[in-house]
Structure 1
């Protein structure tokens, strides 16, 4: 490298710190949105007089585009610039949040939620990719750790802020809090972040993205209609079948595009990669459904205020944030098999504990133990899952594998939410009975995730991972 080329390195540390700040602010939009909405759902339902399937779509209108377009968002950043896509996604998320806050009816709210999901699919992968391009070596690991910790902190405090806002200012205000975060991210990124892209990026996989989106839409819509009425009619069957056909076409397109695909199928030659993604789908689907239902049931059936429901969930994010780094270091020494088997089993135990929650149970005796055990189980699994996924593929697929695993986690939540119609349709004692049934099903699914880990994940750290760490 010539002296002239090296000259711009002098101001880099200050710019790197500001880039980190911009990425934290941008990504916190998604972390906050994912946790704050749950405490506002009862108020939103009451405000619009929404039915069970409509409540499901308040959640899934966001998760659907996020799940389907997450990989495309990363590919667009590689091709057209990560800073550009981060700013574009953040701006779209802010505009969509304003639309949600001002929505005169449920249709406009759902439109805003779809746009939020698209914005999140653009900003999330590019916030991490921008950090990866800005920092090197140990600084990169430290920056990503700060980024992840800040996201966990945002997720921990968001239900408290959201609950207070719903209680005192109405549910639309939960969307206004996104505006200063987005404005700060855009201003800082525009001023300080350096543009980066992958000059060798392949042609963007638009056909794959379209088929994945439409396929997931068909399956999700069909399952939502079925679950809200528990009847298989011609419409729900046709939508589900059509979605499955489109997803099969998506796989055919991805196979034809080979390494230029949005989801290269060569990665699925690793049994560990297949197993960890199946585990992700099952565990995050079960856990996401409980995190959606728990505050809803506490508010609707147990008489909690939105603020109280937010406080009830606070230990969860705190335990996960504090314990996950320890579990990551443990998995680096012992391999992912043990924590990835134990974590889902502990989550299953937490769900069974939560079946003790009823209209008159105290927080300390019934809710807190369940939340604590759920948090411990997820803390066991979160960090080892990420490292095991990355270790299961070769280096050139590491970024795609990480993005795909994030998309699978959101898809698990998407499908699980689509299956919760019977719970949202119930009231009074029937709501608690439906909630307990959902918890039992969730516990079975979580235990199945643990069994998948035991059967597919190696006992020791991967040679590729150990070589990389050496």
Structure 2
């Protein structure tokens, strides 16, 4: 429904509203799909199931940019959204047939206030940061949005502690240190990854003057490696424990961001861009499935959906702030574009080193179905 509305949006304001509607649907699907996996598989099979889930997601996210690049070269951007109608309808049909029915849930308190306050807070902070990085001076609008955003997030923390287990973000959910470590790792890694995923195609098109189709195909190696390596997540977790696949993944992604410093105005894909993407692909393929498995297995089985939802929100929030901080770079052209791009890659590289330190917050050992609070 949201995709169809975006495809027919007559102007910017309806487009933003329709994208918000589309995002609501996506926000419901992701944590619930992981919750189904968490309940359907035992501890010894859960990591492999999550690996296959990650591989399927990688295939989809690898094919989509390539198709969209071809469409943008030949047709309208609206077509890229309208084609989602057939995909969504197929997904609904498959889900209705294959996903087992769960027992009727009991009465559950929905923390609507927490959801509204968190949305307003994140949105206000993103708006303020975007204005600052676009070259705006700290005017009244910027100050108001930043103060309102910070105030909402502080208020959210206070109210969530007061509500306890009835809160959207129950404090007891973060009692296991592995949950804290996993979410910190997620925020740092996905924020840095978003910088690369956003800027490299932009620089390829605007700076190196490569085609939209080539930019759409650029990250195919990322999806291929994730598809191949993710089903091995169970073996990685059993062989190396909870920490080391994540440590290695963050370190390799950091080296990929550093390799991107080679990209310049005369860059070619295979010689200058592909080596960086290959390293990022290898690092993410090592980290994604073990990280998702860690999130699901660090809490009780009946809280797996909440834990995966929080982790998904953390990754999206990190991506939101990363994009908000890129406004100044995205406005540049010529030598200034590459100067800003290289600075962003240096920051992203440091941002990927920090998750390798965050893994030591995670409780050592192999994955199990439930780890009691530390």
Other-structure match for 2:348: 442
Q: Tell whether the 8 Å contact from 2:31 to 2:309 is kept in structure 1 after alignment.
A: yes
Per chain length, whose mean CA-contact separation is higher, i.e. which structure has more relative contact order (CA < 8 Å, sep 6+)? Answer: 2
Other-structure match for 1:423: 329
Moved more, 150-159 or 414-423: 150-159
- How many residues are paired up? 371
Question: What per-residue deviation string (whole Å, max 9, x for no partner) do you get for residues 318-368 of structure 1?
Answer: 111211232442123321222222211111110010111112122121111
**How far is 1:153 from its partner?**
0.9
TM-score (norm 1): 0.73
Q: Tell whether the 8 Å contact from 2:30 to 2:309 is kept in structure 1 after alignment.
A: no
**How far is 1:150 from its partner?**
2.3
Q: Tell whether the 8 Å contact from 1:276 to 1:385 is kept in structure 2 after alignment.
A: yes
**How far is 1:206 from its partner?**
0.9
Q: Quick check: which one's helix share is greater? A: 1
Alignment partner of 1:296 is 2:202 = yes
The alignment partner of 2:77 has SS state of: coil
Other-structure match for 1:459: 364
Other-structure match for 2:236: 330
TM-score (norm 2): 0.91
CA RMSD of aligned residues (A): 2.5
Q: Tell whether the 8 Å contact from 2:69 to 2:215 is kept in structure 1 after alignment.
A: yes
Other-structure match for 1:180: 86
Alpha-carbon distance in 2 for matches of 1:434, 1:461:
42
Alignment partner of 1:397 is 2:300 = no
Unaligned runs of 5+ in 1: 1-94
Which of 60, 73, 86 is equivalent to 1:167?
A: 73
Alignment partner of 1:414 is 2:320 = yes
Unaligned runs of 5+ in 2: none
Alpha-carbon distance in 2 for matches of 1:113, 1:183:
18
Alignment partner of 1:226 is 2:135 = no
Q: Tell whether the 8 Å contact from 1:230 to 1:422 is kept in structure 2 after alignment.
A: no
**How far is 1:113 from its partner?**
1.3
The alignment partner of 1:315 has SS state of: helix
Q: Describe how 1:274-423 pairs up with structure 2 within 5 A.
A: 274-423=180-329
The alignment partner of 1:236 has SS state of: helix
Alpha-carbon distance in 1 for matches of 2:242, 2:38:
24
Other-structure match for 1:21: none
Other-structure match for 2:56: 150
Q: Tell whether the 8 Å contact from 2:300 to 2:370 is kept in structure 1 after alignment.
A: no
Alpha-carbon distance in 2 for matches of 1:124, 1:273:
18
Which of 202, 217, 231 is equivalent to 2:108?
A: 202
**How far is 1:417 from its partner?**
0.7
Q: Tell whether the 8 Å contact from 1:338 to 1:459 is kept in structure 2 after alignment.
A: no
Alpha-carbon distance in 2 for matches of 1:333, 1:104:
54
The alignment partner of 2:143 has SS state of: helix
**How far is 1:458 from its partner?**
3.2
Other-structure match for 1:16: none
